Amino acid sequence: MDFDDTQEEAAWRAEVREFLERHREELGSRNDDVARARQATLYDAGFVGVTWPVEAGGRGGTPMQQAIIDQEMARLGLPGLINLIGIGMCGPTVIMHGSDDQKQRYLKRLLRADDLWCQLFSEPAAGSDLAGLRTRAVLGEDGNWRVDGQKVWTTLAHLSDYGILLTRTDPDVPKHRGLTMFVVDMRAPGVTVRPLRQMSGGADFNEVFFDDVVIPDAERLGDVGDGWRVALTTLMSERLSLGGGGTGIGARAETVARHVAEHLDGLSPDRQVLARQELGRAYVAVLGARYTGYRQLSKLSRGELPGPEASAGKLSGTRSARDLADLAVRVLGDDARVATSRDGSDTWQTLQAGLPGMAIAGGTDQVLRNIIGERVLGLPAEPRADKGVTFRESLG
Ligand SMILES: Cc1cc2nc3c(=O)[nH]c(=O)nc-3n(C[C@H](O)[C@H](O)[C@H](O)COP(=O)(O)OP(=O)(O)OC[C@H]3O[C@@H](n4cnc5c(N)ncnc54)[C@H](O)[C@@H]3O)c2cc1C
């Protein structure tokens, strides 16, 4: 593990820092109405889509350069980009599998947040077992596809202009082989988006219904029946975009330590002792998650890509963030409603209510443990009852 910036990384960090500090007020606004404009400002300065190829609207930079931008934004407590799913998942999928025409039409607008994008994969009966999805796409004689089905947990669908949509085009082959991916216009007739209310009070994700939605064949991403391979591009990009180096949690750990310390005097002596012990334990866990993140950053800095062991980083990061938020809520009591984390975006209570979602999104804790068991530790694979049978047969 190497903690120091190389000379080039240090120069890049200085450039990024100077720009962010100069535009701090504008970029720090939490007003949702200006979220697209904030991203456009960053894009026009060359700080969005850094790793994307130049012809796709990016600057052909390194993942390490992107990680430095993320770190510097976290350092100033700036809100994240609105089109994160587009940048982290949908865009890379279009770059890998889209036609030249799709790339021309979509990519630059996505990076500037002129268009927002969402990822339409999960369904009521297909989350961890994504390849079991049922949304059906059928090719008509007019050369257009007609789509019927339902997606769920679609983050940002209520604001999105486009989505990448994974469908079943052939139920008579094994489940991974009968899938096809499309770009869908979220304003097309037959698309209905219904927001879902979360326990944190927000409504960031949605149910999305498709009723006889027409998608031109030119909006297909990859070959017919090759959707699983296309989806793996998306999921790999998701893993990379989630592996942010643990710096956000680190900043929160220091804030919670300060808030808890301020409240210790108000606690009885025995509760003080317990709170100190818990704070120590939670803080050590956060440091563990942070250094696991640094290990990934060192890999990126050497030009390598994180492997399946990156799952451990997400597992430990989520666990330690949850422990910290739980501790803060218990020690701060009523004050947990007002005491905010350093960047001012959350109260400890909303953070506590939002974190269980992180143990589900982008691979649940249990599924990540399976990956670590099978692909890192080399343990025997899970039994898979639907192996070798067609999707239709697997429905019984
Ligand atoms: C905040 C958030 C944002 C999301 N955004 C999106 C989005 O934008 N687009 C999108 O398509 N989806 C999105 N999702 C959905 C997410 O991908 C799924 O929730 C996730 O894949 C789990 O699927 P599921 O909810 O159907 O649970 P299930 O797969 O039904 O799992 C239920 C339980 O069973 C366990 N389990 C399942 N299989 C196994 C196994 N093989 N071994 C051991 N345990 C197992 C799981 O760990 C879980 O505890 C989002 C979810 C969240 C929480």
The CATH number for 56's domain is: 1.10.540.10
In a shared domain, residues 272 and 149:
no
153 lines ligand 1 (CB under 6 A): yes
**167 vs 234 pLDDT, higher one:** 167
3-state secondary structure of 139: strand
Residue 375 carries which DSSP code?
I
Alpha carbon 120 to its chain's center: 13
Q: What percent of the chain has pLDDT over 90?
A: 54
pLDDT(309) > 80: no
Token digits for 45?
Answer: 């300065």
Q: Alpha helix (H) ranges present in the chain?
A: 7-22, 24-27, 35-44, 63-75, 84-85, 91-97, 100-111, 227-242, 247-264, 269-301, 310-332, 348-358, 365-371, 391-394
pTM, to two decimals: 0.90
Ligand 1 atom at minimum distance from 119 CA: 9
pLDDT band at 1 (very low <50, low <70, confident <90, very high): low
In a shared domain, residues 259 and 168:
no
Residues 6 or more apart whose Cβ sits within 8 Å of residue 213: 146, 147, 148, 184, 188, 189, 190, 191
- Asked if residue 381 is part of any domain, the answer here is no
pLDDT(340) > 70: no
In a shared domain, residues 275 and 342:
yes
pLDDT for 370 equals 92
- Asked if residue 105 is part of any domain, the answer here is no
Cα 217 to Cα 225: distance, rounded to the nearest angstrom: 13
242 lines ligand 1 (CB under 6 A): no
Phi/psi at 213 (5° precision)? -80, 130
Catalytic one of 9, 25, 238, 393: 238
pLDDT for 257 equals 75
pLDDT(280) > 50: yes
Average pLDDT over residues 310-319: 82
115, 228, 383 from 83: Cα distances, Å: 8, 24, 38
Measured in Å, residue 59 CA sits from the centre of ligand 1 at 34
pLDDT for 304 equals 75
Q: Quick: pLDDT tens for 105-134.
A: 999 999 999 999 999 999 999 999 999 999
pLDDT(240) > 70: no
pLDDT(219) > 50: yes
pLDDT(170) > 60: yes
Token digits for 117?
Answer: 């994008």
Supply the range of the domain harboring residue 44: 1-81
- Asked if residue 111 is part of any domain, the answer here is no
In a shared domain, residues 248 and 219:
no
370 lines ligand 1 (CB under 6 A): yes
In a shared domain, residues 283 and 172:
no
Q: Quick: pLDDT tens for 244-268.
A: 444 455 566 667 777 778 888 888 8
- Asked if residue 171 is part of any domain, the answer here is yes
- Asked if residue 91 is part of any domain, the answer here is no
- Asked if residue 100 is part of any domain, the answer here is no
- 249 closest CA partner among 291, 294, 290, 295: 290
Q: Quick: pLDDT tens for 357-380.
A: 888 988 899 998 998 999 889 999
In a shared domain, residues 1 and 70:
yes
- Asked if residue 86 is part of any domain, the answer here is no
Measured in Å, residue 373 CA sits from the centre of ligand 1 at 18
Token pair 């025995």 is found at 270
pLDDT for 188 equals 98
Looking up residue 173, the CATH number of its domain turns out to be 2.40.110.10
Measured in Å, residue 122 CA sits from the centre of ligand 1 at 8
CA dihedral 211, 216, 222, 225 (to 10 degrees): 50
**291 vs 366 pLDDT, higher one:** 366
Q: Are strands 136-139 and 144-155 parallel, antiparallel or unpaired?
A: antiparallel
Token digits for 303?
Answer: 């030009």
In a shared domain, residues 147 and 214:
yes
Q: Quick: pLDDT tens for 136-168.
A: 999 999 999 999 999 999 999 999 999 999 999
6 lines ligand 1 (CB under 6 A): no
Token pair 């209905």 is found at 192
The answer to whether 102 and 219 are in contact (CB under 8 A) is yes
Instruction: Count CB neighbours of 233 within 10 A.
Output: 19
In a shared domain, residues 161 and 227:
yes
pLDDT for 341 equals 52
Cα 288 to Cα 179: distance, rounded to the nearest angstrom: 39
In a shared domain, residues 1 and 65:
yes
Token digits for 166?
Answer: 């994974």
Measured in Å, residue 127 CA sits from the centre of ligand 1 at 4
Q: Which segment of 142-146, 155-159, 228-232, 320-324 scores lowest on mean pLDDT? A: 320-324
234 lines ligand 1 (CB under 6 A): no
pLDDT for 4 equals 82
- 275 closest CA partner among 287, 294, 255, 261: 261
121 lines ligand 1 (CB under 6 A): yes
Indicate the number of domains in the chain.
Answer: 3
pLDDT(212) > 70: yes
Q: Does the annotation count 207 as an active-site position?
A: no
Token pair 């486009």 is found at 162
In a shared domain, residues 51 and 159:
no
Q: Where is mean pLDDT largest: 8-22, 187-201, 255-269, 310-324?
A: 8-22
| Average pLDDT of the chain, as a whole number | 88
3-state secondary structure 71-131: HHHHHCCCCCCCCHHHHHHHHHHHHHHCCHHHHHHHHHHHHCCCCCEEEECCECCECCCHH
- Asked if residue 281 is part of any domain, the answer here is yes
In a shared domain, residues 351 and 306:
yes
Q: Best of 85, 89, 133, 153 to mutate for ligand 1, by most ligand atoms within 8 A of CB?
A: 153
pLDDT(66) > 70: yes
